[in-house]
Amino acid sequence: MKKLLLAALIAFSSCTVQKINKSISKSDVFDKGHLGFMLVDPTKDKVLVDINSDKYFIPASNTKLFTFYTSYTILGDSLVNGLNYLEKGDSLIFWGTGDPSLLHPDLKNTKVIEFLKKQDKQLYLLDNFDQVTAFGSGWSWDWYNAYYAAERSAMPVYGDIVRFTKKEGDSTFTVYPPRFESALQIIEPKGNSSSSFRRNHLENKFDYFVTSEVTGKRFETDIPFITSANFTAQLISEAVGKEITLLSSRNYMEEEPKKLLTAPADSIYSQMMKISDNFLAEQLLLLVSDQLDNKLSTADAIAYAKENLLADLPDEPLWVDGSGLSSKNMFTPRSIIALLGKIRAEVPLEKIKAYFPAGGESGTIRNWYPADKGQPPYIYAKTGTLSMSNALSGYLFTKSGKILHFSCLMNNYPISGNELKTELTKVLYYIHDKY
């Protein structure tokens, strides 16, 4: 009797897998572009679906899975190093580690400011800003006005953005940090034009094009500002209330610095993963580099990860930035599946649920992949979106109690991302319901 029951279960499972494969391979939507899909049952060590899993795809923000794993492995989940410093007689010499939390409008970390305020020494900011390029390899120059491409920096302040906020019913908006209020010009546009903020390309001056239709409505927008060593020294000086002198000598960087711990890594991981924050992803790789050898280099952090943490992946990651903004990034679905397995093995499940967007509930998939009413999310996964690139990779919880790993990479589709996600929703829910 037990043998017959087992045979029946195997036959049912095999039939379900066949239907899953058919729902993908016969889809008119998925047939319009290039699809890579892999679904694995890690408990059985069984591949359930394999469509082009060995082919390279542009992953967009699925790149953040690699950034997250590297950061979590090197930095852990406690406080990150927010400042390197040396004490030399009556002088305190400090420099940036890439920590993105300093006065960030969401992370709101003030430990560096409090530390510098307490000093009775002359303060010097060591200029290591040339170690970090503002834009990553393959980024487009005309992203300068978009929050998703905020400038990378050796020592970010205020998240390297200006936040413009207006509450519903208010006739005026607030500017954070307030020092940029004087850099704002309000313009009444001609004709039909939507309300928007725009920074001048090469200077920190902002125009606000306003229309009557937005009066009274709530809005919030973040616009990057141009960073530099001099401007950073000025911003920190204003926040500390003390003079800060910029120091160009690099000899001090040869010494082993003291380190000031600042923000919880957990809070950075969660925001980076949930809302797919490119700026935090880029800065995390700089924090990794600083942790490894007191130097800021995205390329060094990636090279270390590939050699020491990811050498066992099926295919070498073609990986150039932390966020996935660059179309030079390319990964295979089976390497992402292997990475998901490493994350599951090394990161507690409750932390995965805290970091990853949850279908129908939080982050970039709060409006997609909803569970049945009254049930917990069944998808915890990282999204990815670029022009002609859409991705979703993570963990799928089935009604039978299994946790499956999946990676779906979609490139070169002449249709909208919403059409792709609608089709993928059908597939993932079927797996959740039937497997």
Look up residue 81 and give its amino acid: N
With a CB cutoff of 8 Å and minimum separation 6, the contacts of 142 are none
CA-nearest of 104, 103, 64 to 355 is 64
Mean of the per-residue pLDDT values of the chain: 94
φ, ψ at 26 (rounded to 5°): -100, 10
Cis peptide before 178 (omega within 30 of 0): no
State both tokens at 397.
């919880």
CA-nearest of 99, 114, 85, 89 to 259 is 85
- Return the pLDDT at 364: 98
Cβ atoms of 394 and 273 closer than 8 Å: no
The fourth-level CATH superfamily of domain 22-72+285-434 is DD-peptidase/beta-lactamase superfamily (3.40.710.10)
| DSSP count for the chain of H helices, then E strands | 10, 16
More confident residue, 87 or 214: 87
Residue that is written with structure tokens 């660059």 in the block: 326
How confident is residue 190, by pLDDT bands cut at 50, 70 and 90? Answer: low
pTM for the model: 0.94
Rg (C-alpha) for the chain, rounded Å, is 24
Q: What SS3 state is found at 192?
A: coil
CA-nearest of 430, 410, 406 to 32 is 410
Each residue's pLDDT tens digit, 243-285: 999 999 888 999 999 999 999 999 999 999 999 999 999 999 9
Mean pLDDT of 58-69: 98
With a CB cutoff of 8 Å and minimum separation 6, the contacts of 57 are 34, 36, 330, 331, 332, 333, 389, 391, 409, 410, 411
Each residue's pLDDT tens digit, 68-99: 999 999 999 999 999 999 999 999 999 999 99
State both tokens at 191.
């004709």
Cis peptide before 177 (omega within 30 of 0): yes
Residue ranges, CATH 3.40.710.10, the chain: 22-72+285-434
- Return the pLDDT at 212: 58
Cβ atoms of 41 and 424 closer than 8 Å: no
Residue 413 has, within 13 A of its CA and on its CB side, a CA count of 25
H or E element, residue 91: strand 91-95
State both tokens at 318.
């073609």
State both tokens at 310.
């990811």
Q: In whole angstroms, what is the distance from residue 395 CA to residue 403 CA?
A: 6
Mean pLDDT of 18-35: 93
Cβ atoms of 234 and 226 closer than 8 Å: no
